[in-house]
Amino acid sequence: MNGLNKHLAVAFVSIAILFVGMAHTATFPQFDVMSDDAKTEFVTDMVDRTEQALRDEGKADLAGKNGAAFVDIAPRDRLSLGMVELERNIARARVADLHGLEKDPKAKRVYVEDALLVTLEKNGIELSDKGNHAADQPEQHVCQAEGERSQQEMQELL
β-bridge mates for residue 137, sequence order: 134
The pLDDT tens digits of the residues spanning 58-79 come to 999 999 998 889 989 989 999 9
Phi first, then psi: give them for residue 111, nearest 5 degrees. -105, 155
Are the CB atoms for 114 and 152 separated by under 8 Å?
no
CA nearest neighbour of 124 among 80, 62, 47: 62
Return the pLDDT at 9.
40
Return the pLDDT at 16.
38
Return the pLDDT at 25.
78
List the alpha helices (DSSP H) in 24-150.
28-32, 36-56, 60-71, 81-103, 112-122
Please give the Cα distance from 65 to 120 (Å, whole number).
10
- In one-letter notation, the amino acid at residue 54 is L
Return the pLDDT at 91.
94
Please give the Cα distance from 80 to 70 (Å, whole number).
5
Return the pLDDT at 23.
46
Return the pLDDT at 135.
37
Return the pLDDT at 31.
92
Q: Is the pTM of this model over 0.85?
A: no
Q: How many residues does the chain have?
A: 158
Are the CB atoms for 121 and 132 separated by under 8 Å?
no
The residue ranges of the chain whose pLDDT is under 70 are 1-24, 129-158
Return the pLDDT at 17.
38
